Structure 1
């Protein structure tokens, strides 16, 4: 009998509510199909609810994340992600993963988290249009493209880029 071998482990930072459903489940599916374990973390454990009713479960509080336990961090977008814009733990984790040269990724408006963490200076990045000024203020070279990969930083601008974003995160783990 063959057993699945988990090759990598990623943590998805997801708002407790009003995260963007497809920005969560499309990249998660891409990663899991390639034997990457995805752990969902938030400001609470238990049930989380997306903007359109998709439900998932957080099993880890963001303050309990040890970057040494994961190969990548992914910030999920949607209006709910505003809870992380100035969250000490969310910003510190972005810095920790970035400094360890691990994939540090955000989709949609969650790119503001990376900008606020100060890790986008001189980096090509994209974000949902509402976050453009925050990225520029954070020193990013805003492109407006659907997907940007600059070193270990991966950013996407919204739900239409979710699958390609997942593939980019997966490729960065190879």
Structure 2
């Protein structure tokens, strides 16, 4: 079992990466880290994580699911990243697990996969508007699962988010 974890090159939210990553490894699920650039990515509070893969080089067929990490960098670097939007569509069309936390659910809305689905997001005027434009039914709870789509609204939801991703993966 292997998943693709996507982070912004700057200002990703560390605990939204680290808590799920640890849970995945503990469950025997490996992962690759992708971003808009390879090399060291900088978190919001001084953490670092290496991205070994460009989003544009990632292939859905190599993974059982995708998890997109939030933080302020998600809005700056990931919301309009067309290769990521296309990748999300591919995962969804193959009925694979698609997860996004904090500000990252906007990518799912841009991919068109939240239409008539329940979802949550870290609420800013822009994130709420973009989810509504994507047809999502916004639910104000920490973690929402609608079939194979899992969204979470805050770093404090990272553990519950990881648990549901693992459940959907069958772990």
Q: Is TM (by shorter chain) over 0.5?
A: yes
Kindly state the Cα deviation for residue 74 of structure 1 after the two structures are TM-superposed: 0.5
Please name the residue that 1:137 is paired with: 133
CA distance in structure 1 between the partners assigned to 2:108 and 2:69 by the alignment: 12
CA distance in structure 1 between the partners assigned to 2:159 and 2:21 by the alignment: 9
Which digits, 9 at most, give the CA deviation of each residue in 1:123-168, with x for residues without a partner? 0000001112211111000001100000110000010100110111
Q: Structure 2: where are the runs of 5+ without partners? A: none
How many pairs align?
167
Please name the residue that 1:162 is paired with: 158
Which digits, 9 at most, give the CA deviation of each residue in 1:90-137, with x for residues without a partner? 100110000000001100000111011111000000000111221111
Greater Rg over alpha carbons, structure: 1
Whether the 8 Å contact between 1:129 and 1:144 is mirrored in structure 2 is no
Whether the 8 Å contact between 1:19 and 1:81 is mirrored in structure 2 is yes
Residue 99 of structure 2 is aligned to residue 124 of structure 1: no
Please name the residue that 2:40 is paired with: 47
* RMSD between aligned residues: 0.7
Kindly state the Cα deviation for residue 49 of structure 1 after the two structures are TM-superposed: 1.1
Matched residue SS, 1:109? coil
Matched residue SS, 2:165? helix
Please name the residue that 2:78 is paired with: 84
CA distance in structure 1 between the partners assigned to 2:44 and 2:81 by the alignment: 21
Q: Structure 1: where are the runs of 5+ without partners? A: 1-7
Whether the 8 Å contact between 1:12 and 1:41 is mirrored in structure 2 is yes
Question: Which of 92, 96, 100 in structure 2 is aligned with 1:102?
Answer: 96
Q: TM-score, normalised by structure 1?
A: 0.94
